[in-house]
Amino acid sequence: MNALEIVGGILLALSSILMVVLFMLQESKQPGGMSALTGQTDSYLSKNQGKTLEAKLSNTTRVLVVVFFVLSIAMNLVIRYVK
């Protein structure tokens, strides 16, 4: 293993862990959920704040998924052709 493979593997591991964390932080698109069980209601301000946070999480997740796939393809090419 050369240094490029090690660095790429570490970056792939970090990006996959971050993707899992971001997926878990996002709210479900299905109605109900835990808030329906606890009887919580959303106010106007909390809905807008959630949407901006949800939008940021969604955009960050999209970018991270693209980075993960590009890293995966790059690592495959490095392992195959760089020796």
Segment 25-80, tens digit of pLDDT = 887 766 655 555 555 555 555 566 556 888 888 889 999 999 999 999 999 998 89
Residue with the two structure tokens 């993960």:
68
Structure tokens at 71: 């890293």
pTM: 0.69
67 in any annotated domain: yes
CA distance 61 to 2: 30
Counted domains in the chain: 1
DSSP state of 28: P
33 in any annotated domain: no
Q: How many CB atoms lie within 10 A of CB 35?
A: 13
Tell me which residue range forms the domain holding 69.
1-23+45-83
